Structures are given as C-alpha cells and as structure tokens.
C-alpha cells in the first residue's frame, strides 16, 4: 500500500515544483490526475470494444490513452501549456467521435472538458470560444442523424455508466478547485493578519523611537552645545557630564532592546525558548545598575532559590526584567528597598519586583501595558529607561507569559511577570554569576 501511494504521488505530481505559485501547482496536479484517470480506463475500453468488434471505437479509446500518456510526458518536460491544450483538445475530439458514432454518452464528457478548460485558463475569451465550440458540437450530435445502426452502438447500460462518470467527474473537479479557492482565501486572510501585526509592530517601533529616544538626544544636543560654547563652570560640568553618561547608557540599552525586538518582530522570527536559571540573570542585570543604586543608596534584596527556572527566550527575558528593575530603581526614593522574589502556580513561575517608590494610580496602571506613555522622570529626574512597558508586554506574550501590576501611590509598586515553569527534565541554560565590584 505504501509503495502504491509513493508511485501515485510521484505520477500525480509530474512536472510540479515548489517554485510554482499555489494555483499553478494545483493546475499541474489536476492535469496529471485527469491524464492518469483517462489512461487505464481508455485502455480497458479499447480492449473491450475490440472484443465486441467495435474497432473504430476501440481505436478511438486507444488513441485517447496514447494522448493521455503524451500529456504526462509533456508534463515531465514541463511543457505545461502544450500538455493542457493536448489534453483538452484530444479529449474533446475523441469524446465527440465516440458520441457521434456510437451514442455512448460522450457529450457529457464534452461538458467535463468545458468545465476543466474554464478552470485551467484565466482568459475569458478562451472561455467563450470553448463554450461556443462545445455548444456547437453537442447541438450537432443531437441534430445529426445516426451514422451507425442501433445494433452497432454501445449498450444503453454503457451510456448510463459514462453519464454517471461524467457527472461524478464534474462534481469532483468543481470541488477540487473550490477547495483551492477556500485555501487561498484562508491563506490571504492569514497574510492580511500577519501584515496588520507587522504594521502594528512598526507603529510601536516608531512611537518608541519618538517617545524614548528622540527626546534624550535633543537633551544631549543642548548639553553639548553648552560645553562647546563654554557656558558651564567646572562644578556644573561634572554634574552635566554625569547626566550625559546616564543618558548615553540609557539610549544604548534602548537601542539594544529595540533592535532585539525589531529583529524578531519585523522579520517574523519565532521565539526560541529554552530553560533558564533566573537568579543569575537577575544578578547580571543588577550589576549593570550598580551606579544607579549606589547614587540613590538603594538596597536590592533577591529572594529567589538558585534552582528556579523558567521557559523563555533568554534575550527577551533579559529585556523584560531589565526594564522592570530599571523602573523600580528609577521610581524608588533614596535609601529605599527593592525586593525581588518568585512564586509558582500550576503553569507559571512569577518573578515579582517590589519597590518603595512613588507608585501609580489605578487609572494609569490599567493603561500602562497597552499604550505608549508620556515621557516620565524618576525621583531624582532620571531619564526614561528605554523602550517601555508596551514592549515588555509584547515580549511576555511572545513567550506565552502573563504580566500584572499592583501599585499604591506614594507607597510603591509590585510588577509581576509570569513565564512558563520549567519541567525538571528540561536541559538548563546556565548564566555565570557576576562577581561583585
């Protein structure tokens, strides 16, 4: 059975190749199917009619089988247009001759060739010409007197058999191309949704560029202008140099995050998740904020077991956690605490980042992850951290995670990101713990 299926697939796909458009591929496939379905029956009826002494009809059937084999040969050499014309012309001629001489119901197969031709050709002029031709041939069959006497014509049961086969073929052919049309419609709809998603991502990227990157560069331009024109004394210069350093650091982070997101979003790349030990990643992120935490004298407490793992894309996880930790530092009051801890449920491992900062009102927290926020500054006028929480939510969803925020104004916030928990048999991706500075 497997061998039969293998050979059938080979024969039915003769001349088809992946570079073809979907509709052309299906047309080649259908021509092969028609030729194959004509080949064996016409040989069988050629032998049967020869035994019944209907030698002309036997010759017609045998000629039809030769033409079917020729069509497959033309398909093999990728002469698809010639193969298509040969199939339709030969079938029309032989079905007409069989119906004219032997009244075998061949006129119904002429209708089949008309339907197939309309499915095979897109040109409406060809449709009209073929329609007029078939209409003329069928009219000629009914108006022209019988050539052979009734005793030499095929039995009525053979005519009924041919009529049933012709009608069955019409149903199969129409449904075959209706299936193609529906699949094309579904494919177009998927592409439309994909393009809409890409457009939304593009709008997000440009919004983020305008929101978080353009404004700091304008500030840098003003600072450099003051330095160039020597408008600052030595004491003030040190303060502005520190501001420039912070802004450059922040913008490098923003651009890195934006490029990571853009490469996966705009190119349609799939998120490749793996098992990650979460504590070393958080320690590595905190190391990058040492100057920020020291300047505000913040204490960061990590209460996460060393073996805690999640399933996520490593780059995405770093972007998400870095933004949350950066926001916690940014909006914390001096001498405060930031607590990072984990909890688990049936599906997720939740990483909670709790600060003792200025907090967020309920009305604002409801929109925090759904739209670009106006540029904000921290408790000591720190600039924005980069791409913002809209990007974080997008990356969390790409990793099949969830996000939540609980906040009280002037008391602090808890940002929680839940990512799929790691089964115990999943290989770990280890991140080296940074050494303390």
By DSSP bridging, strand 337-344 and strand 299-303 are: parallel
DSSP-derived 3-state class of residue 313: coil
Q: At what angle do helices 22-51 and 80-102 cross, to 10 degrees?
A: 30
Q: Are 280 and 433 in contact (CB under 8 A)?
A: yes
With 90 as the cut, is the pLDDT of residue 382 above it? no
In whole numbers, what is the pLDDT of the chain averaged over residues? Answer: 80
Shortest CA distance to 250 belongs to which of 415, 387, 436?
387
Paired strand residues for 419: 349
What's the confidence (pLDDT) of residue 69? 92
- In this structure, the dihedral spanned by the alpha carbons of residues 361, 367, 369 and 373, taken in order and rounded to 10 degrees, is -90
State the alpha helices, DSSP H only, in 13-54.
22-51
Note the pLDDT tens digit of each residue in 224-233.
777 777 776 6
Shortest CA distance to 224 belongs to which of 243, 251, 252?
243
Band of residue 74 on the pLDDT scale cut at 50, 70, 90: very high
Note the pLDDT tens digit of each residue in 265-322.
544 445 678 899 999 999 988 887 887 788 888 999 999 999 999 999 888 888 889 8
Q: Are 298 and 336 in contact (CB under 8 A)?
A: yes
What's the confidence (pLDDT) of residue 60? 92
Distance in angstroms (rounded) separating the CA atoms of residues 177 and 187? 15
φ, ψ of residue 88 in degrees (nearest 5): -70, -40
What's the confidence (pLDDT) of residue 436? 35
With 80 as the cut, is the pLDDT of residue 411 above it? yes
Burial class (CB in 10 A: 0-12, 13-18, 19+), 61: buried
Q: Are 167 and 108 in contact (CB under 8 A)?
A: yes
With 70 as the cut, is the pLDDT of residue 338 above it? yes
Quick one: average pLDDT of 405-411? Answer: 85
Distance in angstroms (rounded) separating the CA atoms of residues 191 and 229? 55
With 70 as the cut, is the pLDDT of residue 399 above it? yes
Burial class (CB in 10 A: 0-12, 13-18, 19+), 294: exposed
By DSSP bridging, strand 428-429 and strand 274-277 are: parallel
Question: Domains in the chain, please, with CATH?
Answer: 2-154 (no CATH), 231-429 (3.30.565.10)
Quick one: average pLDDT of 106-110? Answer: 88
Distance in angstroms (rounded) separating the CA atoms of residues 278 and 286? 13
Band of residue 435 on the pLDDT scale cut at 50, 70, 90: very low
Query: Which long-range contacts does 74-79 make (Cβ < 8 Å, 24+ apart)?
Result: 75/14, 75/15, 75/28, 75/31, 75/32, 75/35, 76/14, 76/15, 77/15, 78/15
With 80 as the cut, is the pLDDT of residue 177 above it? no
Walk across the sheet containing 309-312 and list its strands: 309-312, 274-277, 428-429
Quick one: average pLDDT of 396-400? Answer: 88
With 50 as the cut, is the pLDDT of residue 12 above it? yes
Quick one: average pLDDT of 235-261? Answer: 68
Q: Which tokens is 24 given?
A: 């052309």
Q: Which tokens is 192 given?
A: 């439309």
Quick one: average pLDDT of 326-335? Answer: 87
Shortest CA distance to 369 belongs to which of 390, 354, 388, 352?
390
């Amino acid at each position: 059975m497997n061998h039969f299926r293998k050979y059938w697939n080979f024969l039915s796909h003769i001349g088809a190749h992946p570079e073809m458009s979907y509709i052309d591929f299906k047309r080649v496939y259908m021509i092969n199917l028609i030729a194959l379905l004509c080949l064996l029956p016409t040989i069988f009826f050629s032998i049967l009619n020869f035994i019944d002494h209907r030698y002309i009809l036997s010759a017609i059937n045998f000629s039809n089988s030769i033409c079917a084999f020729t069509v497959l040969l033309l398909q093999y050499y990728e002469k698809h247009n010639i193969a298509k014309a040969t199939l339709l012309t030969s079938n029309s001629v032989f079905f007409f001759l069989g119906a004219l001489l032997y009244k075998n119901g061949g006129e119904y197969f002429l209708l089949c060739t008309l339907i197939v031709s309309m499915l095979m050709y897109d040109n409406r002029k060809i449709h009209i010409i073929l329609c007029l031709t078939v209409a003329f041939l069928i009219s000629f069959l009914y108006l022209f007197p019988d050539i052979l006497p009734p005793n030499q014509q095929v039995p009525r049961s053979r005519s009924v058999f041919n009529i049933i086969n012709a009608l069955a073929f019409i149903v199969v052919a129409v449904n075959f191309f209706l299936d193609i049309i529906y699949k094309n419609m579904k494919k177009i709809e998927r592409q439309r949704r994909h393009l809409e998603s890409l457009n939304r991502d593009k709008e997000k990227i440009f919004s983020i560029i305008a929101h978080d990157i353009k404004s700091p560069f304008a500030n840098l331009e003003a600072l450099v202008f003051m330095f160039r024109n020597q408008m600052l004394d030595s004491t003030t210069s040190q303060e502005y140099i520190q501001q420039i350093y912070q802004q450059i650091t922040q913008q490098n982070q923003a651009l890195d995050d934006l490029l990571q997101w853009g490469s996966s979003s705009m190119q349609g790349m799939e998120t490749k998740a793996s098992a990650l030990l979460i504590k070393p990643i958080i320690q590595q992120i905190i190391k990058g904020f040492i100057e920020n935490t020291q300047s505000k004298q913040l204490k960061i407490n990590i209460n996460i077991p060393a073996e805690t793992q999640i399933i996520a894309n490593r780059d995405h996880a770093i972007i998400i956690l870095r933004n949350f930790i950066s926001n916690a530092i940014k909006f914390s009051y001096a001498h405060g605490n930031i607590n990072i801890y984990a909890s688990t449920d049936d599906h997720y491992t939740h990483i909670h980042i709790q600060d003792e900062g200025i907090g967020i009102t309920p009305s604002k927290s409801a929109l925090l992850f759904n739209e670009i926020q106006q540029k904000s500054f921290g408790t000591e006028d720190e600039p924005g951290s980069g791409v913002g929480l809209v990007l974080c939510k997008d990356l969390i969803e790409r990793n099949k995670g969830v996000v939540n925020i609980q906040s009280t104004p002037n008391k602090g916030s808890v940002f929680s990101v839940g990512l799929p928990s790691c089964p115990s048999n999943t290989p770990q991706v280890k991140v080296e713990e940074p050494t303390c500075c």
